[in-house]
Every structure is written in C-alpha cells, then in structure tokens.
Amino acid sequence: MTSSLALDDVSVTRGNSLVLDGATLHVGEGEVVALLGPSGSGKSTLLRVLLGLEVPSRGVVKLGGRTVSEAGRVRLPPEERDLAVVFQDLALWPHLTVAGNLAFVLRSKGRFRGEERDRIHQMLDQVGLADFEDRYPGELSGGEQQRVAIARALVTDPAAVLLDEPLANLDIALKQDLIALLIELFRERGSTVLHVTHDPREAAALTERVAILEEGRITYTGRLDELPDAGSTFTRAVRGAAGGRG
Ligand code: ADP
Ligand code: MG
C-alpha cells in the first residue's frame, strides 16, 4: 500500500548543523503514528518539511505516493498540500468567530463549496461546540479553543492531520478529555495522523505505532510496547513511562 506520508532519507541543514539527518518515516493511510523525541530533536522541523515550509537538503518527501519535495526543491507549495495541522499555540484568528475560523480554511482550500454552512455545523457539533459558532476565540475557555483548533483542522477533510504538541500545556483532566475526543474523531474518520509529542503516555493513549526522533535521526519505529530495553536515556525513559500497559 502507498504511504500517505513518507519521508525517505530526509536531511535539513541549518548553517553547519543537520537538524534532520537522513530521517525515514512512513505513515500508512488511516494510520495514527506518534512521533516522540526530546525537545530540539527536530520534531517540528520534520512536520514543516511535510507541510512544505522547509526545503530538504537531501532525500524525498511524498504525500499519497506523489513526490512533493526533494533535495533543494519544494515541488508542491504548502497551500496545495492536502494536510491540516494543529500547533501548540493553536493560532486561531482572533478577529474571526468560531464559524468564521472554519469558513476561512474551507474557502481557502476550496472545499465543500456551497455546503460550507452545513459542514461547519456538523464539524462543530462533533467537537461539542454546536452553540459556539458566533463567539470569538477570546470569549472561549482554553479547552474550547482547543476544540475549535481541532475542528478547524478536520473541517476540510484533509488527507492527513499533523499535530505539533497541541496538548502539551494542558492540565491532566483537560488533556484526557481532548485525547478521548481525538480518539473518537480519528476512529470515525479513519484519519491518517502524525502526532508529535514528548509525552509517552499521550502517545500510548492515541497510538500503537511510534517513531522516535533523536538528534535528527529516527532511532526506532514500531510498537511502543516492543521498544527494546536499550538505547539512549530518552528511549529508556519512554519505555519506563509507557510500561505497565497491555
Ligand atoms: P523540536 O520540535 O523537536 O523541539 P525543532 O524542529 O523545533 O525541534 O528544532 C530542531 C533544531 O533546530 C533545534 O536545535 C533548534 O534549535 C533548531 N532550530 C529550530 N528552528 C530554527 C531556526 N529558525 N533557526 C535556526 N535553528 C533552528
Ligand atoms: Mg517542536
């Protein structure tokens, strides 16, 4: 089967340093994979390469089997990539209402033409915000804003969703709520997801397959519960934190 998201031997250079160093990672259609790594290991850079915001110095990036970036060249620009992303800082547009935030991405991607209103209603209903359409982001709680960001990412029905630690700064109860919501949404849609996190428990809740990124290299891909009892401090910490399940 063709991978939905594929990086093959991808490097990204900044100055004299390699931020990504021959990273290879494939995510199949309908698969949810967690990308785990310590701070500064290159996780956000890897997502930026997939989004077309970063040019690889080596390697090939494919979306749905199509080459979208290769060494020195972005072939398909970010706005034409059928991807959605949720960042930690959400980046909701404060001057647009909740419905306006969703409408903006639908229009800019040209999706659900003529059915925008229905699509927005349906999406907000699914994240439990049916009555919040006319509010502005500043009039919502943190958890509600998070739900808007998730709804905005999924409203276009993208080929894949990239999550860049959107749950990192939340308290435990809110985090558990949102993990439950994400599990339900992804299962319902059969979404393809690459979920960046540095929290092994968050990865364990959402996925079975993980990739570990350390100093720009993918050092492990496979089941979280089959992580070998060896390797770096980070790998051992992941094993320790994820242990005890199943
Ligand atoms: P992570 O998301 O895993 O914390 P990043 O991909 O953000 O890691 O960063 C990887 C490395 O690239 C870090 O060493 C970081 O300092 C460096 N880096 C990130 N952004 C820039 C930038 N704009 N200019 C120079 N170096 C950067
Ligand atoms: Mg990051």
What is d(CA 178, CA 172) in angstroms, rounded to the nearest whole number?
Answer: 10
Atom of ligand 1 nearest to the CA of 38: 3
Phi-psi label, residue 191: left if phi above 0, alpha if psi -120 to 50, beta otherwise: beta
pLDDT value at residue 30: 94
Alpha-carbon distance of 246 to 237, in angstroms, equals: 18
Note whether 55 and 45 are within 8 A (CB): no
| Ligand 1 atom index nearest CA of 196 | 2
Q: Which ligand is nearest to the CA of 39?
A: 1
What is the predicted pLDDT for the residue at 1?
Answer: 63
Check pocket membership of 42 for ligand 1, CB cut-off 6 A: yes
Instruction: List the domain boundaries for the chain.
Output: 3-82+159-241, 97-157
- The CATH class of the 3-82+159-241 domain is alpha beta
Q: Ligand 2 center to residue 122 CA distance, Å?
A: 31
pLDDT digits (tens, 9 = 90+) for 130-159: 999 999 999 999 899 999 999 999 999 999
DSSP result, 5-20: EEEEEEEEEETTEEEE
Q: Which ligand is nearest to the CA of 88?
A: 2
**What pLDDT does 45 receive?**
97
**Is any ligand 1 atom within 6 A of the Cβ of residue 44?**
yes
Mean pLDDT across the chain: 92
- For residue 45, how far is its CA from the centre of ligand 1 (angstroms)? 7
Q: What pLDDT, in 10s, does the model give residues 186-207?
A: 999 999 999 999 888 888 888 8
Torsion sign (Cα): 214, 218, 219, 225: positive
Q: How far apart are CA 16 and CA 169, in angstroms?
A: 32
- For ligand 1, atom 10, which residue shows the shortest CA distance? 42
> Which ligand is in closest contact with the Cα of 43?
1
